Structure 1
């Protein structure tokens, strides 16, 4: 059994920092690097990419709506052509910076509201996939299993990688409970670790109504912006290893 462990990183901006990126890069195998639209700036992107390369961590472009004030968590109506161009801009920027420090972007993962939107919206999913295809059709798209964006990407010949969220609550339909609802984010370390191990070994998770939901995932996400994120990520990795799961990047 093998699983990738990914986290959102590089989400500081200017003098503001968010999370302990260097410590998390010692734990995860894939880093979803903010591209400057929901968080991140050129210096933060460069430092994060350099630190990831130094540790052998794969770099992903975490593309987003242009929403710095809302941290990319506000759903927006964006013309598909404009959204495609904005995703392309973000992807090219992070990949260009990564190459200057000896790395490259290995995959693409939408962030926040865009992530949730392309799970169900064919038009916006097509815009995101078109940007990835135009830039490099060999780049995998990381997202929820069975999501619309994965169907669109597969239809265009792009590789897809399914992920699960150890610290997020699930609906019976296999989608994430919106953050505005109580209990959407799970903070108890023992619960998060147990869920991660079960996702990796049994490929299932318990939804908020008690039903069992299949999650055939190759990667597990732990968020880097929650309190105690580093400690939680380490606990998840240790729990996976104890359960006999090899923690390795999917790319």
Structure 2
């Protein structure tokens, strides 16, 4: 009896403790509480069915957690004289799935429609829900990867616009190259792309200028001729004034 008194003291609120002060012992107090505050089967069913209706997969940690919670509610309903059939159980599971499972639900409904009089195979439903969960996770990961790639590309584009020369790749920056052809030896290209060794590789627009032996006049009256085998801005001979 002392143990029962301690348990009641732990379990009940202060408001109920006041109501059982005049009870002779713990059993009388317990009977009083049970009579006044007991939940009827009808009320318990309403509470459990509302809980089942509000339960959603997105509120759970996983499909396993979701199905276990639905199973628990089904077991609780049985204690209050409410037997949930397998059809009702499957419908409740499908009801709690998010919009992203729309295609999955449509396919499963079609499978059920092929044999409407047969009880649904719950094991098969659980298996397909777990497979769909993995598929949904894969879609999310792929979407995250695409979004990350877009953000990285956008950030890279912004950086290059702010300072294009700073982030130029080694492949684009040819200042470190030096031509090994004996008649050239200049930097900025290799022997393979040397215009001195391979004049045919000179762009047509520059070749026409070189063929005309373009003459450039300097600020002091000096005259320089461009060699068609050299780059467009390098002069190999300069005539000076008689000064």
Short-chain TM bin: under 0.3
* Greater Cα radius of gyration, structure 1 or 2: 2
Hey, which of these two has a bigger chunk of helix by percent?
A: 2
Hey, which of these two has a bigger chunk of strand by percent?
A: 1
The TM-score, its normalising length taken from structure 1, stands at: 0.19
- Structure with larger RCO (C-alpha < 8 A, sep 6+): 1
